[in-house]
Amino acid sequence: MKLHEFQAKQLLREKGIRTPENRVATTVDEAVAAVRPLIESTGNSVVVVKSQIHAGGRGKGRFKEHPDLGGVNVVTDGLKGGVEAAENKVRELAQQMLGSTLVTVQTGPEGKQVNQLLVEQGIDIERELYLSVVLDRATGRNIVMASTEGGMEIEEVAEETPEKILRQEIDPAVGLLPWQAHTIAYQLGLTGDAYKNARKLLRALATAATELDTDLLEINPLVVTKSGEVMALDAKMSIDSNALYRHKEVATMRDESEEDPAEVEASQHGLAFIKLDGNIGCLVNGAGLAMATMDTIKGVGGEPANFLDVGGGASKETVSAAFRLITKDPNVKGIFVNIFGGIMRCDVIAEGVIAAVQEVGLEVPLVVRLEGTNVELGKKLLDESGLNLVSGDSMIDGARKIVELAR
């Protein structure tokens, strides 16, 4: 589950990690009201207005409605004109940003609507660094990654100057050890108070990643101020959805308006669903078989429209919901049902497909391949249903048939 920047910073502060002081605004008036308290409490007349969407590249992004306006804007009007000048500029920005569509390198050309803003104190920056804790799925351990190249896309740094990326693996039994924090801080070239503060922050960040069950915890940039403070100027956090039962307060932070409506609906039925760009809808049981099905479709010249795993213990109602999800996608020109029945019985799949087609209709070709538990009963139910479908003798046979029919 992805979090907004302001939510990630809230959780980081609770773990003892410094962030700039800020206020969240959902209206123009709230954005303006945030300015005076920030300036008075920090003594800094510079504030920053930041779009809150689930996508990176906001600073370089541009609004469809306002092509000259970026997703992150530094307001310096208060330096000469005082609080009122800063408030007026923030009002102008909020009026343009809220409700507008921000396009970044990560949103695609369709962009995302900005419904929330983060109004934040300006920071006197001396250095910008990169820091993250990422889950290495090969080892099942978190890894701290750091670089002197803060503010840049880490993928670009990894490709162009991989030697500038520092790594330390975290042993889950003991956490990030003091010598590891020392090594990273030293290799980043930090000294004095900045070095001491960075060591504390590194260990706090590693602990936060473990305690919050994060897939990704990224601070880019991590800034060093002229006074030697080290703080998270930006924050990106993604929580392992399978661990949310341990973090009920974090689960309430979910912003469904930032997610694909089909994926939200799928989660309500306990389905693993990810929308893709192809035209072949896939209904499969088991993540491994779903991946293999998508690979097979691509191998015979097609493009899958989704990843959809109904799981091993799905009911007739769940299967019916999965089928409805696929048929709602206007890009789908054919549907491939590929089931290997173990725990999941083929007759249950057949009943779900029949119920869904009877409810929503079927306007595209349907190919069904069934194998495993109660396969003969499942095929019998489909044969007697009167549905206009094609049987696949094997996975590759079914994939070839649906790709051909969808052309």
pLDDT tens digits, one per residue of 204-252: 999 999 999 999 999 999 999 999 999 999 999 999 988 999 999 999 9
CATH number of the domain located at residue range(s) 21-121 in this protein: 3.30.1490.20
φ, ψ (nearest 5 deg) of residue 138:
-70, -35
At 181 the pLDDT is: 96
Positive or negative: CA dihedral 189, 191, 194, 198: positive
Q: Options 3.90.1170.50, 3.40.50.261, 3.40.50.10490, 3.20.20.80; which CATH number does 260-405 get?
A: 3.40.50.261
User: Please, what is the average pLDDT of the chain?
Assistant: 91
Report the range of poorest mean pLDDT among 15-19, 272-276, 349-353. 349-353
Distance CA 166, CA 93 (A): 38
Catalytic residue among 130, 149, 258, 351: 130
* C-beta of residue 47 within 8 angstroms of C-beta of residue 38: yes
Q: Which of 359, 356, 347 is nearest to 383 (CA)?
A: 347
Question: For residue 31, how far is the Cα from the chain centroid?
Answer: 26
At 35 the pLDDT is: 97
φ, ψ (nearest 5 deg) of residue 393:
-75, -25
How many other β-carbons are positioned within 10 Å of the β-carbon of residue 32? 21
Give 49's strand partners: 73, 119
Q: Which of 170, 178, 166 is nearest to 135 (CA)?
A: 170
Helices (H), 151-215: 154-160, 178-187, 192-211
Q: Which of 25, 19, 73 is nearest to 48 (CA)?
A: 73
At 162 the pLDDT is: 84
* C-beta of residue 402 within 8 angstroms of C-beta of residue 302: yes
At 176 the pLDDT is: 96
Distance CA 315, CA 345 (A): 10
Q: Which of 142, 147, 168, 141 is nearest to 159 (CA)?
A: 147
At 214 the pLDDT is: 95
At 314 the pLDDT is: 66
| Per-domain residue ranges of the chain | 21-121, 125-251, 260-405
How many other β-carbons are positioned within 10 Å of the β-carbon of residue 60? 12
Higher pLDDT, 318 or 120: 120
Catalytic residue among 87, 120, 218, 258: 218
Q: Which two tokens stand for residue 93?
A: 């920005």
3-state SS class at 135 = strand
CATH 3.30.470.20 correct for 125-251:
yes
β-pair type (366-372, 390-391): parallel
Q: Which residues of 257-284 are buried (b: 16+ CB within 10 A; e: fewer)?
A: ebeeebbebbbebebbbebbebbbbbbb
* C-beta of residue 347 within 8 angstroms of C-beta of residue 293: no
Same topology between domain 21-121 and domain 125-251: no
pLDDT in tens, 4-63: 999 999 999 999 999 999 999 999 999 999 999 999 999 999 999 999 999 988 999 999
Report the range of poorest mean pLDDT among 74-78, 203-207, 317-321, 365-369. 317-321
Q: pLDDT exceeding 90 applies to what percent of the chain?
A: 66
Q: Tell me which amino acid residue 317 is.
A: E
Which H, E and C letters describe 16-31, residue by residue?
CCCCCCEEEECCHHHH
* C-beta of residue 203 within 8 angstroms of C-beta of residue 181: yes
Instruction: Give residue 356's pLDDT band: very low, low, confident or very high (50, 70, 90).
Output: confident
pLDDT beyond 90 at 256: no
Give 367's strand partners: 336, 390
Report the range of poorest mean pLDDT among 95-99, 174-178, 211-215, 254-258. 254-258
Q: Is 218 an annotated catalytic residue?
A: yes
At 86 the pLDDT is: 96
Mean pLDDT of 114-118: 97
Instruction: Give residue 180's pLDDT band: very low, low, confident or very high (50, 70, 90).
Output: very high
pTM (two decimals) = 0.81
Rg of the chain on CA atoms, in Å: 25
Helices (H) and strands (E) in the chain, counts: 13, 19
pLDDT beyond 80 at 342: no
Mean pLDDT of 61-69: 96
Positive or negative: CA dihedral 20, 23, 25, 30: negative
β-pair type (141-147, 165-169): antiparallel
